Amino acid sequence: MIKIVGVRFKNAGKIYYFDPVDFEIEKNIDVVVETARGLEYGKIVVGPKEIEEEKLISPLKPIIRIATEEDKAIYAENKEKESPTVLILMGMPGSYIVARENKEKAKETFEICQQKIKEHGLTMFLIDCEYTFDRNKLIFYFTAEGRIDFRELVKDLASIFKTRIELRQIGVRDEAKSIGGLGTCGRKLCCSSWLGDFQPVSIKMAKDQSLSLNPTKISGICGRLFCCLKYEHDVYVEAIEKMPVVGSVVKVENQKGKVIEINPLLEQIKIEFNDKTIKTCLAEEVKVLHVPKKCENGCCGGGKCKHDDIDSETLKELRKLED
């Protein structure tokens, strides 16, 4: 067994694991750690715990030190140069005053990069910028349709800011996470408020939950499938396994019929009987006599998928949402 702690560098960011060494580490304390980018400042979000060494994907890097007052001051100064809103969200002393004073600095850094992008004629959209804790690197995040040759841009920015420059291309999900906003539910976006890692989301999850396959109704502001489709999917899968598939021949109170609809969460089955009457029954009241062959997608009975009538253009749009 090996002891680890979890560190997060951004609000709602991914959790990275480190070796606590001999420090007395507790949850919610600030630390300085070594990463591939250099020294970084983060917060302990997962207290010390032991895991099997075989579960580690790569060797652990150590905690360098528990953050000192000097470290906290450096971190605050770095954030002032990047984005004043960060200080406000952190609730740091005098943050509103600092935010006002440094708003122009943050805006200037961003605008200089935008201006240089325009001068070089690059088709890229600048999202955010940040310094590493040791100030050895200034990182700009951007989105673009394809690959961008920004070598000349990097040279220009390095001569202006007198530090190492890194331009990092991010996806549309990461863009939404960085910018933030409100979802269709009216709440803050999961990705920008608490979700650490993005999990793969597929159209099958929407099918299993009997949601409309209208692209505009199951996609977020990032233009991809809702992350929340993943949250309850395991529950739906477990519930669906206990239910007969649509098209099954069943028997209820000595009457035979065919399943035309199921509600996995309520464990209810809608049955059309031989006399054409339709009744909703509980799953425990139903005895399955014959299970039809499932469709190629594994979601419908009777061999034919009820989603096959989706036109090719809509299907193409749905596939894009999974990227």
All structural domains of the chain, each given as residue ranges with its CATH number in brackets, are: 2-67 (no CATH), 80-174 (3.30.300.20)
DSSP secondary structure, 36-83, as one string: TTEEEEEEEEEEEEEE-GGG-SSPPEEEEEE--HHHHHHHHHHHHHH-
Q: Name, of 3-7, 151-155, 211-215, the range with top average pLDDT.
A: 151-155
Answer yes or no: is pLDDT of 94 > 60: no
Lowest-confidence pick of 17-21, 212-216, 315-319 = 315-319
**More confident of the two residues 128 and 322:** 128
Q: Going by C-beta distance under 8 Å and a sequence separation of 6 or more, which residues neighbour residue 200?
A: 230
Closest CA to 56 of 27, 17, 25, 14: 17
State phi, psi for 194 to the nearest 5 degrees. -150, -20
* Res 153: pLDDT: 94
The residue count for the chain: 323
Q: How confident is the model at residue 97 (pLDDT cuts 50, 70, 90)?
A: very low
State the chain's mean pLDDT as an integer: 82
Q: How confident is the model at residue 303 (pLDDT cuts 50, 70, 90)?
A: very low
**Which percentage of the chain shows pLDDT scores above 70?**
85
Residue 213 near residue 207 (C-beta atoms within 8 A): yes
Answer yes or no: is pLDDT of 165 > 80: yes
Q: How confident is the model at residue 296 (pLDDT cuts 50, 70, 90)?
A: low
Secondary structure percentages of the chain, helix, strand, coil, to 5: 30, 30, 40
Q: How confident is the model at residue 121 (pLDDT cuts 50, 70, 90)?
A: very high
3-state SS class at 129: strand
Answer yes or no: is pLDDT of 72 > 60: yes
Q: Determine the average pLDDT of the residues in 173-185.
A: 87
- Can you read off the two tokens belonging to residue 254? 């000595």
Answer yes or no: is pLDDT of 93 > 80: no
Answer yes or no: is pLDDT of 294 > 80: no
Count Cβ atoms below 10 Å from residue 16 Cβ, excluding itself: 19
CA angle 23, 25, 26 (to 5 degrees): 165
* Res 323: pLDDT: 61
* Res 87: pLDDT: 41
Q: How confident is the model at residue 307 (pLDDT cuts 50, 70, 90)?
A: low
Q: Determine the average pLDDT of the residues in 140-165.
A: 91
Q: Determine the average pLDDT of the residues in 105-133.
A: 87
- Can you read off the two tokens belonging to residue 120? 């070089």
* Res 160: pLDDT: 92
- pLDDT per residue over 235-281, tens digit each? 999 988 888 888 889 999 888 999 998 998 888 999 999 888 999 99
Determine whether 228 is exposed, middle or buried from the number of CB atoms within 10 Å of its CB (0-12, 13-18, 19+). Answer: middle
* Res 308: pLDDT: 55
Lowest-confidence pick of 29-33, 57-61, 71-75, 259-263 = 57-61
As a whole number of angstroms, the distance between CA 67 and CA 43 comes to: 9
Residue 321 near residue 225 (C-beta atoms within 8 A): yes
- pLDDT per residue over 197-210, tens digit each? 788 899 989 988 88
- pLDDT per residue over 280-290, tens digit each? 999 888 999 88
* Res 149: pLDDT: 92
**Which percentage of the chain shows pLDDT scores above 90?**
25
